[in-house]
Structures are given as structure tokens and as C-alpha cells.
Amino acid sequence: MLQEVFAALEEWANERSLKYRNEGLMPLGHCLIQVVGQTALLEAKLDIHLAATADVDVHQQIEHVFRKKLEELLQEKGKFLDPVGHEAWMPDETKYKTIFKGRYVEGAIAEPEYVLISKALKAPKRNKELLIDYLASNPSDLFYALAKKYKISLEEFLK
């Protein structure tokens, strides 16, 4: 779903920039969209039970003109861009996987370990079942290292 949206955004940015150039105006700049939250987990295709509402969380602020078009494209897919998604806490060292790269638009999803650490630290109650399921599915060394760094007591989820 996200790749389709990013591709449509790229197409729009191409057309818009061409029009601006023809009018002697500045073309659009580069737009990096970093998706976090449940949408990023769903895209990562983990073997755990995952439900996500129609919210899409984008980590950092994106330029207004791109944001508005992104909202419109997501709505066509029945999704909503979370207006406060950029306020969500993510570890400083979060790594993102690029899933679309165009001339104007680059779309990426946060690697699942960083999303899960964010959930474990900031919304443990809401994500308890999700984390139990993940802990039972042979978590990566990276997940344990991040849990240690951010002083997350994983035992708490198993009480």
C-alpha cells in the first residue's frame, strides 16, 4: 500500500515541478517520508498477530505541500495521516529501510525492532499482547540490546 502511495506522490511531484519550471518558478524539493508505528510493522511482514487502525504515523515533519498531497493519497486508500505522528518518540539511532526512492520522494519504514522498543517504552499497556507475541517469536539481538539500553524490563510484559 505504502509503495503505491509513494509512487503516486512522486508522479504528482514530477508533474508539479515540470509545471513550475515552465512558469519560471522553483521546482519542488526533496521529500523524505519516514513511516513508524503499526503501519511500519505491518509492512515489515513479521510473523506475529498485528492489527493497525487506519492511522499512518510519519516520524518527522514534512513540507506542507507534500503533506497535504500525501493526506489526500492516503485518504483514497482509506487511511489517515496522523496529525501528531511526528511527535511519537523513536530511539535516536532508529534505522529506516527505504521502500521507495524517486527523484522527489523517498519513502522509508522504521526497522521493526525500533518501533517495538518505542511501543514497549511509551505505551506498554496498549502493546502488551503484541510484545508477548514478539518475545515468543525469537526476537533479534538488536531488540535485546535496545531494551537494555533504554532500561526496559521485558519481564514486566510476562507477569
Partner 1 sequence: MKRAELEKLARKKAEKLRAKFSDPRYKKVIGKFVAAGLLEHNKVGAYRGHITLDEVIWVGQIEPRVLELLPAIILRRPKLIDVRSEIPEDLRLLLIQLRKGLAIDDFRGIAPALYLPWVNRLGRKAAAPSVLKTFRFQRKDIEKINELKKRTGLNETEIIRKALQSL
Residues that bind partner 1 (CB under 8 A): 20, 23, 25, 38, 42, 45-46, 49-55, 64-65, 68-69, 71-72, 78, 80, 84, 125-126, 129, 132-133, 135-139, 144, 154-155, 157-158
Provide, rounded to whole angstroms, the least separation between the CB of residue 5 and partner 1: 14
Instruction: Quote the longest CA-to-CA distance of the chain.
Output: 64
Q: How far is the CB of 119 from partner 1 (least distance, A)?
A: 12
CA 63 to chain centre: 16
Question: What's the min distance (Å) between Cβ of 91 and partner 1?
Answer: 20
For residues 97, 101, 107 and 111, what is the CA-based torsion angle, rounded to 10 degrees?
0
Residue closer to partner 1 (CB basis): 4 or 129? 129
Closest approach of partner 1 to the CB of residue 1, in Å: 8
Q: What is the DSSP secondary-structure string of 92-158?
A: TT--EEEEEE-SSEEEEEE-HHHHHHHHHHH-TTTTHHHHHHHHTT---HHHHHHHHHTT--GGGGG
Residue 138, Ramachandran bin (φ over 0: left; ψ between -120 and 50: alpha; else beta): left
Q: For partner 1, which is the closer residue by CB, 21 or 101?
A: 21
Nearer to partner 1, 111 or 133 (CB): 133
Nearest to partner 1 of 25, 98 (CB atom): 25
